[in-house]
Amino acid sequence: MRYAQGGGLTDERRAFREKLRMGAAERSARGEESAAVARDLRVNVRLVQRWRNAWSQGGPRALASKGPASLPLLSDDLFAVLEQELAKGPVAHGWPDRTWTLSRIRTRLTAGGSTAHPSISSPSVGVPIAGPGRRSSTTSMSYWYQSSPPSASERPR
């Protein structure tokens, strides 16, 4: 599928997709069926129909890329600083092994702020701040364990 869910695009990918839209609209203007165009471009038929409608109403300008949906949360310089901090590894930041997890990155960014730069925070990098979901209590687990039937291996023959 050419249009993935979410995610920002680089300038090159935006230009590629604009070229894809223009090509689909030109083929539709020549009378090719939307299904054939969609199959060749590996996109949804409805998407080709939308492009055709936009082309008929506004011409090529209607299909032109409008740029990124939003400004990046971190500048290129701050993103480079964040990459350097993460490249040092979790051991350099106090964890016993060499595995970065989202929770470790979140903890590193939210606990006392980032040593890299004050504006590098958890929300600005896209790391979710929400805590873990509901957990079972020890009491309910012990009740379940006591009241559950014995396993097949424990039953007498």
Do the beta carbons of residue 43 and residue 21 sit within 8 Å? no
Region 64-88: what's the mean pLDDT?
Answer: 78
What pLDDT band is residue 136 in, cutting at 50, 70 and 90?
Answer: low
SS (H, E, C) the chain: CCCCCCCCCCHHHHHHHHHHHHHHHHHHHCCCCHHHHHHHHCCCHHHHHHHHHHHHHHCHHHHCCCCCCCCCCCCHHHHHHHHHHHHHCCHHHCCCCCCCCHHHHHHHHHCCCCCCCCCCCHHHHCCCCCCCCCCCCHHHHHHHHHHCCCCHHHCCC
Indicate the pTM of the whole model: 0.45
Q: List the single range of 104-108, 116-120, 143-147 with lowest mean pLDDT.
A: 116-120
What pLDDT band is residue 2 in, cutting at 50, 70 and 90?
Answer: very low
More confidently predicted of 38 and 140:
38
What pLDDT band is residue 13 in, cutting at 50, 70 and 90?
Answer: confident
More confidently predicted of 123 and 29:
29
Chain centroid to Cα 129, Å, comes to 15
Do the beta carbons of residue 2 and residue 41 sit within 8 Å? yes
What pLDDT band is residue 35 in, cutting at 50, 70 and 90?
Answer: very high
